[in-house]
Amino acid sequence: MSLIAWRNEFTIGLPDVDHEHRELIAMINALHESLGPVAEVERIVAALGEIHGRIAAHFALEEREMRNLKYTYASEHKDDHERLLDDILDIIEAVESPADYDPEALGLRLSKWFTEHFRTHDARLHHWLASHG
């Protein structure tokens, strides 16, 4: 079962960004499906590292688009991106500690991490784009 199901509300209206949102959700879902009590920590850390790299590149694209559009809330959105990237590093650190590894908690944290950003900052960008043509 997928951790994060694609929903139309995840679409912000920039085709390249929306495409990458779908890819990132697929990566997170693939990682979640491979989690378990005996999952190899090294493999999980490597997958999270790849997700971190892809998300960092995605955020760079999104931030460039926001600058080009002169998006009103670009600075706040970028600040949240930086916080989210730090959060992924914290997630990786937690997984590397065997005493802290809990596959269910990891899945919930990834889901919350992704959907909260969509619900707040990306939703605001979507509405701003709709009202600014």
Answer yes or no: is 86 within a domain: yes
pLDDT higher at 23 or 32: 23
Answer yes or no: is 10 within a domain: no
Q: Looking at residue 108, which CATH number applies to its domain?
A: 1.20.120.50
pLDDT of residue 38: 62
Range of the domain at 113: 15-131
Answer yes or no: is 3 within a domain: no
Contact 90, 84 (CB under 8 A): no
* Count of residues making up the chain: 133
Torsion of CA 89, 92, 93, 97, to 10 degrees: 170
Q: What tokens were used for 130? A: 């709709």
Answer yes or no: is 57 within a domain: yes
CA angle 39, 44, 48 (to 5 degrees): 160
Q: What tokens were used for 115? A: 């959907």
Contact 57, 16 (CB under 8 A): no
- Count of domains for the chain: 1
pLDDT tens for each residue of 93-120: 888 876 767 777 777 888 887 888 888 9
Answer yes or no: is 7 within a domain: no
Residue with tokens 């600040």: 79
Q: What is the pTM of this model?
A: 0.85
pLDDT tens for each residue of 33-66: 887 666 677 888 898 899 999 999 999 999 999 9
Answer yes or no: is 75 within a domain: yes
Answer yes or no: is 69 within a domain: yes
Q: CA–CA distance from 50 to each of 27, 62, 128 (Å)?
A: 9, 18, 31
Statement: residue 8 has pLDDT above 80? yes
Answer yes or no: is 107 within a domain: yes
Average pLDDT, the chain: 87
